[in-house]
Structure formats: C-alpha cells, structure tokens
Amino acid sequence: MIEQLLQHISIPTLMCLIPLLPLLGAIANGKMYLFSTRSQWKPSHALSGTIAVVMPLISFLIVAVLFYIAMGLEDSHSVSTGPLFTWFGGTQWAVTIGLKLDQLSLIMALVVTGVGSLIHLYSVGYMSHDDGFAKYFAYLNLFLFFMLLLILGDSLPLMFVGWEGVGLCSYLLIGFWFTDIEKAKAGKKAFIVNRIGDFGFVLGIFFIWQALQPTAQPGDAILSFSYISTHAAFLAPVATAATLLLFLGATGKSAQIPLYVWLPDAMAGPTPVSALIHAATMVTAGIYMVARLNFLFVLAPTTLNVIAIVGCATAFFAATMGLVQDDIKKVLAYSTVSQLGFMFLALGVGAFSVAIFHVMTHAFFKALLFLGSGSVIHAMDGEQRLSMYGGLRKHLPVTFTTFLIGTLAIAGIWPFAGFFSKDAILWHVYSSGHFWLWLIATLAAGLTAFYMFRLVGLAFFGKRNPAGPHHVHPENSVTMLLPLVVLAVLSIIGGWVGVPHAMGGHDHIMTWLAPLFPTALHEAGNESTELFMGLGSMTWGAIWAIIAWILYSQHRGWADQMAARFKRCYTLLVNLYYVDQIYDAVVVQPLLWFSRSVLWQTVDAVLIDKILVGGSARIARLFGRVGTAMETGLVPHYVFLLVLGSVVVLGWMIL
Amino acid sequence: MESLLNTDWLALAYNELPLLLLIVGGTLVLLADLWWPQHILPRWARRKSATVDVHVPDRTPLLLFGMLAALVAFIACWRLWVQHEMPNQMGMLVIDRFSLVGGMMIIGSTIAGLALGWGYLFQHKLPIGEYTVLMLFATAGAWCMISSANLLLAFVGIEILSISAYVLAGMDTKNRLSVESGLKYFLLGAVASAFLLFGIAFFYGATGTLSLVGFTNDGIMQAPTSQFYLILGTAFFLVGIGFKVALAPFHTWTPDVYEGAPIPVTAWFASAVKAAAFLLFARVMLVVLPLMPALGTQLIAGLAIATMFIGNMAALWQDNIKRLLAYSSIAHAGYAALALVTMATIPEAGITSLLWYLMSYSVMTIGAFAVVQLLGRDGEELTSVGALAGLGERHPWLAACLSIFLLSLAGLPPTVGFMAKYYLLANLVAAGHWGLTIAAIISSLISVGYYSYPIVVMYFRPVANQTPHNSMNVGVPIRLVIFFAALAVLVAGIFPDRLMSFIQNSVLL
Amino acid sequence: MLSSYFPIAVLFIFALILGGVFVGLSAWIGRRPYNKVRLEPYECGLEPADSPRKRFSVKFFMVAMVFLLFDVEVTLLFPWATLFKQFIASGLGVFIFIEGLLFIAVLVIGWLYVVRKGALKWE
C-alpha cells in the first residue's frame, strides 16, 4: 500500500500538493466553522490550529525539497508539471492549467510558505481569544492556496485566478471583524481600489491574447509564460500599452501611486494578516508579475521609465507620510508602501533580480516588524497609538530585541538583511544613470531609518504614558515568540545570500536568478564606487536613525518643537497630503453623483426597471398567459392542438 | 436466409449485450416479483390482529437488482464504445459510438431513476417490482430506438418505451392526478404513435425500404410521387416525434403528465425518454435533412423557437415546481431542436451539440427533480414553490444543490448548462443562424426569471410557519444521485474539455 | 389483373341481390304485429338499449384484454409454422425451432404474470 503510494510521488505530484495542502486546510477549517455555526459543537483551537499550521509547513518542506532538487538540475533549475489539463479553449488556442517552479517562483514559494507557516503559528497565539478562530484560519489557508497558485501558475489566466483569489482573501481578512463598520469599510475600499487595478490587468491580458492569437497553432496554450516569452517578438507593437495596463494592475495590488490608498486602511485586519498579506506576500504580487513578464517589459522602455518614476515617487512620499503617523500599524503600512516603491524602482531600472532580492528580505523583516507590533498591541490590550506607549523594552524583552533587529534591517544597517538588498537597489539605480531618482531614493532611505527609529523610540524607550493601559500583559506565548525569533534570525542572515562581489561576497541570488532575466541593461559600475556607496548609504541611514532615536527617546520635547515650527508641513503630512480627500472630491463624489442621479434615478429606475425589465417581463408574462391557456387539462383540446399543429406542419411541407 | 446461416450469433449477442442485459434483467425481476413472499412471517406465526403493513415484505432488493443489471449494461456500453471505432451494422441494429453514447446516457438516467425510486416507492406504497421491470423494459425500448437502422424496429422501440411510460405515469393509482396523467399520456401518445406510423408508412412508400440506409438511394427519389411521399412522411414523422420530445404545439401533454406522475418517473421522463426520442429524431433527420435542407432551417427552426418561447414564458406563471420543471423541459426541447437546425448545415457539429445538450440536461433535470423529491414529507410530494421558503437555512447543502441545478438549467456559468448552451449557440452561429441564436438568447434570458424564483424563495423568504425539520427518512441513493449530479454539473461546467473530446470522438459520421 | 378479382365481385353482387330480395319480399308480404317483445332483437341476454354509463365488472375487461393479447400473439405463430419446412430445407431447422421456443417462452412468462397477479380469478 505504502509502496504503491510512494510510486506516485513524483515531482509533478509534489508540486500539485504545494497549493493543494493549504486548500485542504482551508476546506477542513471552513467546514468545521460552518458546522459549528449550526450546532453546539465548537472545533477545538488545538485541532483547527494544528491543521492550519501543519498544511503550510508541509508545503514549505515540499518547496524546500524541490528547491534542493532544482539546484541539482544541470541546465534550467526549473521543474514543471507541464499542462495538467486543458481548462477551456477554442479551436485555435487553449488555456491549459499547469504549475511551474523555476528560480523565481522557487524563491517566492519558499518565502510565501516559510513566512506563511511562521505567521500561521503566530496567529495561533494571537487569535486564541477570537470566536472566529476556525474561520480565520480557513481564510488564511485559502489565501496561501491562491498565493501559491499565483506564484506557481504557468500561465497568465492561472496567475489571474490567484491574483483575484488573494484579493478576495485580503478583503475577507481586512473585514474580518466586520461588525465594526470602519473595518468593513476598509475591506470594501481595498476591494474596490484593487478592482481598478485588476481592470488594467485583465485588459493587459487581452492585449497579449489579441496580439498572440494570429501566431497560434491549434491547441497552443498562448497565454502560458513560455509561449509568451518565445513569441515576445510578436508583442512588440502592443508592448507599451499592454505593459502599462499590467503595471496598472500591479499598482493596485502592490499599493503604488495612485492606488496605494487602500493599504494603510487594510491595517484594520488582524495584525498577522497585515504581516502576511499586506506586507510579506500578497502586496509583492505586482513585483512578481513584472519580474515574471520581464521579457515583455524590456520591450517597452517607456513603461520601465514610468515604473521607475512611480516607484521612486511612492518610496519617497510614503516615507514622508510614515514620519508623523501615530498608529503603530499605519507607520508600518506606509513603510511597506515605501519599500514596495523601492522594489518597483529596481524593476524600473531593469534590475529585476535585485527587486526580487528585496522582496525576500523585506518579507523577513517586515513580517517580523508586523508580528512584533502585533505582540505589542496584544500586550497593550489592543491599543495601537504610539503616543500611549513608551518604555516597553523592559516589559517585552524578546519583542524589543527582535523588533530592534527588524528595524536595523529595514534601516539598512550592515550586516542586516535590508542593507544588502536596499544598497543593491540604490547602487543599480545610480549605476544605470538615473541620478535624480537615486537622490530621491537615498533621501527616502534616510527617512525610512528615521521613522523606524522614531517608532522604536516612542514605543520601547522613554517613559510610559500614564494615559495608556496600566497593565502590560507579559509575553509568554511560545507560538508567538518562536516566529519572532526565527524571523529575527532570518532578518540578520537573509541578506547574506546577496553580498555583492564588491564586498567580497558571491552574490548567490543574482547568479541564481540570472538565467531568467535579461543581462544588465546598463554598464556595470565600478566596484570600488559600489563599495564606497554602500558604506555611504549605511552611514546615511545610521545618521537618520540616531537623529530619530535622540529626538524620540531622549528629548521628546524637541520633536514637538519641530512640529510646531514646521506647522504647515506637519499638517500636510498628518493629513497624508489630502490624497484621500482629493480622491473623494475628484473621483468618488462625482461618480456617486453621476450614479445616483443619472444612472440610478434615470437610467436604472426609469429606463431599465420600468421600461426594459418591467416591460419585457410584462410582455413575457403576457405571452406566458397564452402558453398556459393552452393547458386546459382536457384531452380533446390537446388533440385538437395536436391536429392543428400537424396541419400547420403538413401545410408548410406541402406548400 | 443465407445471412442467417452466416450470422455469428455470439458476436451479435456480444454487441447487443446491453439490450440483452436489460431484457433478461427485466424478465428476471418480473419473475422474482411474482414469487416474492407475500408476508414476512410464515402463516402460523401471523396474528390476525396485526396491521397489514407489518407483514408486507420490502421488495427493494428487486430495485437493487434492476440497478445492478442497468449498471452492467452501462459498463457493457462503455466497453463497446472503446472497441467500436467504426459503425457496425447487424441486421436491423447498428452499433456505433453515437448510439452507444446515447445508450450510456439513457441507461445512466435509468440507474438514477431506479435510485430515486429507492425508499420513495415503499413510502408511497407503489409496486416496486413492476416499477423496476417497466423501467428496464422501457430502457430496452429506448435502446431499440437509438440503435436501430430500421424504422420498423425504431417504431417497436418507441412503443415499448411509450407503453411502459404510460403505465409508469399512472402507477400511483391512489393519486387522482397520477391516474389522470397516465390516461392522458396514453390517449395522446396513441394519437402521436398513429402519426408516427403513418409517417413511416409514407417513408416506405417513398423509398421502398424501411432501412434508414436506403434513404440515401437517390434512384428511388427521382420519381415525383416518391418525392411527395417523402414530404408527407417527414411531416407525419415530425408530428409524431415532435409529440414524443414535446415540441410546441405538440407539447400540451407535458405539464399535466409531468405533474401527475410520481417524481422519480417524471425525472426519468425528462431525461431518458426525451433523450431517446431526440436521438431517434436526430438519426432520422441525419438522412432526411440532406434531401430537404429547408426543412431544418425553416420548419424545425420555427418549431424550436415556438417551443422555447412557449415553454419559458408559460413557466413564468408556475407556482408548482413540478409544472415549472415541466415547462422548463419543454423549453429545453426547443434548445435541443436548435441542434437539429445546425445539423442541416454542419452535421457533425449539430450532433455534437445535441449530445452535449441532452447529456447536460439529463443530469441537471434529474438533480433538480431529485432535490424536489427529497423535500417531500410524510408521503406528500412537495409541489408549491412557496414551500421552499427558508430552505437555505434549514438545509443549506440541499438548497445549494438545487440552486446549482437551477442555475445550470438557466444556462449560467460555471455550470454544465452554460457550456451546453455555449457550444449549441456557437455551432448555430457557425452554421450561420444569427437570428435563431439571438432568439435563443432572449428566451434564455426570460428563463432566468423563473429559475431564479425558487432560489429567491429558498434564500430570502423567511419560513412562514415554523415547521420542524422535514422528515427526510429516505435512503442514501437519492442523496448520492443529488451529490453526483451536482458534482457533474460543476465539474463538467468548469472543465468541459474531457467530456467534449469524448463526445467529439463519438460523432464520426 | 383486376380480372382475377371478378369471381369475388360476382359473389358480392349475387349476395347483395339475394339478401335484398329476401328482405324486400318479407317486408312486402309479411304482416307487421308491433309489440315490445317483437321489437327486441334478442329474446334473452343483456338489454340491447341501456344507459351508456352502465358498469361492468372489471373482470370482464381483464379477461377480454388478456384474451385479445394472447390471441393476437398466437396469430404470429402462423407465419412461423408455414415457414418451418422451408427453414428446415435450408438447414436452419434448429434456428427456427429455438426461435419458436423463445417466442412461446415469452408468452409463457406473460401468462405466468397474468396468473400470478390473479387477473383470471373470478372471485
């Protein structure tokens, strides 16, 4: 029996298991939750928690095994199931379903399942008092399923399924505590803003389909990545339009200007969700998509420039908005937006592998920071305002240590993970000749260090605010602390796979990813310059960090004075450049007015409801009367109709 | 006689194994039913005071045996399908993949119909043995219809099927409606059979042969009288078969019969009987249409449109769910007739979409009827749509399944009903019938109105009087039927590819 | 070709004339004593004119139907019998014999059904 089972274990079956296991967990937990709503029985937390954690963990182990196997492969380092079956199709083309693991998706899958498993584990402790425990894990596992589908899918439609699926789960989890109307609204906002992006994404797919359709042989899966990459030449005419539309999709999912507004609100969800979905994995889907379709984006230099500029602008503005936030999770949210901007900046200058490198390290330290903040919030009875914190380092030693490691990592201090990836981004921006972008990005990097140390200073140093909660719950849940420690370790060593040659490293990750991406679009810079700039950016970050630390942990008065001095600037920042208000006034209100007065009251109520729907329904029902009138129930009438019909038929036939 | 001498009887028996199994199985059930013990207890142990019910032995094993026979016949069909690349004619019967797919479809419906009888028949005190026998014999008749190369045999098949069906419809003799439906079906069916036979006679007059193969012999067709006879024959045949498949204006019996007959029988009527009649229709049209292309594009198209609209619009008024599904069945006959229109231009595509359509319709209508049957309580069938109120809360899974079936009947994705309509209309467009396609879409839109009605009632109307849980002490088989039907509707709707290639492989003309 | 039917035509005409003559003669010569008994076509048995809704016991229908069924089916044995020798001549004796047996077996099963269901019981 077992031997027979073992015979079936091949690489494709293992690959299929990767997304299917979390799906299984989601179904199990969802079923248990549904059952518990209708009966007295409640699923035990141990049971649903175990299911929820073990499934992603097994997936992670499988990915690790496959990673090991792929490393040993000679030529391509990729494994694929091939087309498992045809999903749908026409006579000329088909959409097949298959999974593919190459260098890029392996890294992503490792991060998603690895960090995902840790966050699941953390959630067991974090959500232990919640009634919707099983429901929460059902959603979370479902999210992993869709995320893995997005990453492993070998074609655009399958990626889109994952793309929409993670959006759905994100919506469900942001509004997890939907009895709070604000949180439900935040979920709605995320969903709607994402739809705008998805609209672009779908249009982009249609563009590609349209351009590739003439080239297809019957049965070709024209939307699979391999087909698109081999036929990229046919896409040259539409490349700019298609990639711009795809990038619109990416700005939605990855929270870039102009569609970033949903992400800060998405912090309404449980904190582990913010860590997993809105920091480590889902929001990087846009970057993954651009990197996956790099062969398409390099055909459109305009788009790349747009991406670089948008990314850079987002990195800077989000960082400035992060400076003055009072909500601990909002700071991290803007920080995420800003970091995602860095990644897009890297993509825009053609440094795809660097972007992926930053995705990976960012996943480690941002997940760590979010989980740390969750730990703080948990200890403070749900209080999220920084001004209510202070001096927590004595109460929460493990959280403090790990949080500090994460902060050092994101601030780009050597030898933490963030240093290598952020430095690589700045270096590639600079060496590709985008001086102004580099300047702004460097400034943004400094601001990053500033607001992060401001956060650390406000939360962990200084005196407790007497207005805050009096009692600090001690940290004693192993399930919550273990992920923190593991992620802290990863935040330290995670960057070491990408130590550049200039610093005496081997830059494994670039070598690993190199076959997938086009060779450098620009001249490689001077190694000594690179080394010098690395040192410079670290010093730059350290200066800002120290300033922030002094301002917010030693002399808090100075900060208030500065806020008073630059009052205008401060209010602008606190109000987030009035972007939400501007969107509301320019887009939402006119749209609402138009829908209400024109579409609803005129078009819908009168034209459609009264005339089209009501009228057609009335006509249909009128004719239905005729139909039912035939049913007298009397056999003679029926025979009469039958004969009448036969006369008609005969008449038609003969005449 | 030479041919008889040379016949390889074993091969013939092998190729007609499904038919033999059905007949022999039916006969065995018949005999077993006759000698089935009348009482559980021996005579000396019976007490006079005990109620009769206690002593009535359950004859469900007969049903089980019938299902087994049908199942083996189904598997035999499948084996034959695998082995028969090319059509194989033996005497009056022809074995090809088309008829084998049809056979699988019909035998599958019969298995489901027998499974639906499980528990229901006992509860309603219907004769289990005869139910099984009639189902099996009727299926054998259906087999003769769909795999006949000869109109006479086809007629015999129709009669075997129809007479069994009349009895099945009127089986619940304690129920006035059932008796009425059986009688109505019989009277009207007899008229239709007369038309059919008359048509066949004219075919004979036109071609000098009853073999469908002879139709293509143009030598006979040259004479002007034979041309006229052919027209008359086609007209009468059309009326007769139009009655059997319920094309307007020959559909009038359908709502009454479907309403009156016991639900398992109705489900089986809507799936197996309709499919068998349509497949025979297609087989005859396959040879007639090339001779008269205008017949398909104009007359059948007209009938199809009338059927779709009458069925869908009349259904809007229904509050009785069985009648609603009956009208829906009429409307679906109209859609399926569109496949015959396609056949006039591109035969392969037409037959493919017809098979697809019938197959998907069978599954979803059986599922819908099964859910309705399951909801009956205390020996009473659930009839009014209003009685579904609050079902979404009381039985969420059942409500979900019924919704799936109804959405599929309405032709909404991601169900098999959508795929069936999609292929049907795509082929119709390929044949150049834009107007028909638009008419079909409009009527399909109308149909959404009444298919959504039970769904709205189930989920959004509160329970009027707080009735306790329905007493659903029916067996596992009906639940299995619902489960598999829902599964099939969804799986084939989302991943239609395998099934499509299976059907396409079956249509090698 | 039609000439072969001539004797039949002659027979028809002769019969018509003969019948007509007898009826005509009796109508012309005979006396007409009208009374109730005289007008009845049968002197015993069922009433000839009666309510159309008169009920018969279903057993009559049963027996009649079963009789009809078996009568018609047995008729099918006639062509079988006439062809029997021909079949033997062409070496298909066993075949035609088994066919006949099968046919009779079907009838027997039907008959068994009728008997076991009590359709012929007159109680």
Q: Per-residue DSSP letters for A507-566?
A: -HHHHHHGGGS-S-SS----HHHHHHHHHHHHHHHHHHHHHHHIIIII-HHHHHHHHHHT
CA distance A262 to chain B (A): 31
* Distances in whole angstroms, Cα of residue B463 to Cα of each of A490, B318, B325, B471, B473: 57, 20, 23, 16, 21
Q: Are A249 and A286 in contact (CB under 8 A)?
A: yes
Residue of A nearest to B195 (CA): A646
Beta-bridge partner residues of B320: B384
Mind listing the pLDDT tens digit for each residue in C106-123? 999 999 999 888 888 877
Distance CA A94, CA A90 (A): 6
The minimal CB distance from A624 to the residues B298, B299, B313 is found for B313
Can you tell me the ipTM of this complex?
0.81
Instruction: Name chain B's partners: 3 or more CB pairs within 8 A.
Output: A, C
pLDDT at B133: 95
In order of A312, A332, A343, B100, the CA distances from A308 in angstroms are 6, 22, 9, 62
For residue A73, pLDDT over 80 is answered with no
What's the pLDDT at B463? 72
Using the beta-carbon criterion (under 8 Å), do C90 and B5 form an inter-chain contact? yes
- Distance (Å, whole) CA B328 – CA B361: 10
Q: Do chains C and A touch (3 or more CB pairs under 8 A)?
A: no
Question: Domain residues of chain C, as ranges?
Answer: 2-116
d(CA B38, CA B56): 6
Pick from B1, B31, B34: CB nearest C90: B1
In words, the CATH class of domain C2-116 is mainly alpha
- For the entire predicted model, the pTM comes to 0.69
Chain C hits for B127, Cβ within 8 Å: none
Answer yes or no: do A645 and B232 touch at CB < 8 A.
no
Which of B313, B323, B445 to substitute to test the interface with A, most A CBs within 10 Å? Answer: B313
Instruction: Please tell me which residue, A500 or C102, carries the higher pLDDT value.
Output: C102
Statement: residue B26 has pLDDT above 90: yes
Cβ(B311)–Cβ(B251) under 8 Å? yes
* pLDDT value at residue B279: 94
Beta bridge partners, B93, equal B90, B148
In the 3-class helix/strand/coil scheme, how is B139-154 assigned residue by residue? HHHHHHHHCECEHHHH
Residues of chain A in contact with residue B255, where contact means CB-CB under 8 angstroms, are: 631
Say if residue B47 is exposed, middle or buried (CB neighbours under 10 Å; 0-12, 13-18, 19+). exposed
Q: Which two tokens stand for residue A499?
A: 């130590």
Distances (CA, A) of A108 to A57, A347, A416: 15, 16, 20
Record: contact C92-B1, CB cut-off 8 A: yes
Chain A hits for B235, CB-CB cut-off 8 Å, are: 646, 649-650, 652-654
CB A452: neighbour CB atoms within 10 A? 29
What is the Cα–Cα distance from A599 to A619, expressed in whole angstroms?
24
Cα dihedral A84→A87→A91→A93 (10° resolution): -70
- The C-alpha atoms of residue B375 and residue B398 are separated, in whole angstroms, by 9
- pLDDT of A520 strictly over 60: no
C-alpha B373/C-alpha B357 separation (Å) is 24
pLDDT at A92 over 90: no
Q: Which residues contact A14 (CB under 8 A, 6 or more apart)?
A: A62, A65, A66
User: For all residues of chain C together, what is the average pLDDT?
Assistant: 85
Over 90: is that where the pLDDT of A413 sits?
no
As a whole number of angstroms, the distance between CA A113 and CA A22 comes to 10
Helix (H) or strand (E) holding B95: strand B93-95
User: For residue range B336-390, what is the model confidence (pLDDT) as tens digits?
Assistant: 999 999 988 888 889 999 999 999 999 999 999 999 988 887 667 777 888 888 8
- Chain B residues within 8 A of A628 when measuring between CB atoms: 314, 317
pLDDT tens-digit series, residues B58-103: 788 899 999 999 999 999 999 998 888 777 777 788 888 888 999 9
Please compute the mean of the pLDDT values over residues A409-438 and round it to a whole number. 87
Mean pLDDT of A113-120: 92
Angstrom distance (rounded) from CA B324 to CA A624 = 12
* Percent of chain A at pLDDT exceeding 90: 24
| pLDDT the model gives residue B108 | 95
| A646: three-class secondary structure by DSSP | helix
Domain boundaries, chain A: 1-238, 363-568, 580-654
Residues in CB range of B177: below 8 A, 6 or more apart: B259, B260
Region A405-411: mean pLDDT is: 91
Q: Pull the structure tokens for residue A83.
A: 């087309």
Tokens of B121: 């028949």
Considering only CB atoms, A620 lies closest to which of B298, B302, B313, namely B313
pLDDT tens-digit map of A355-384: 999 999 999 999 999 999 988 888 888 888
Confidence of residue B333 (pLDDT cuts 50, 70, 90): very high
Report the C-alpha gap between B63 and B66 in whole angstroms.
5
The tokens describing A393, both together, are 């380092």
Distance from CA of A641 to the nearest CA of B (A): 7
Mean pLDDT of chain B: 86
Two tokens, residue B506: 């079956």
- Taking contacts as CB-CB distances below 8 angstroms, the residues of chain C near B31 are 109, 112
SS3 letters across A260-285: CCHHHHHHHCCHHHHHHHHHHCHHHH
What does the alpha-carbon distance between residue B94 and residue B88 come to, in Å, rounded to a whole number? 6
Q: What is the DSSP-derived secondary structure letter of residue B36?
A: S
Angstrom distance (rounded) from CA B208 to CA B229: 11
| B415 and chain A in contact, CB less than 8 A | no
Beta carbons within 8 Å of A255's beta carbon, 6+ residues apart: A262, A263, A283, A336, A337, A340
What radius of gyration, in Å, describes the C-alpha atoms of chain C? Answer: 25
- Taking the Cβ of residue B457 and every Cβ of chain A, the question of whether any pair is shorter than 8 Å is answered with no
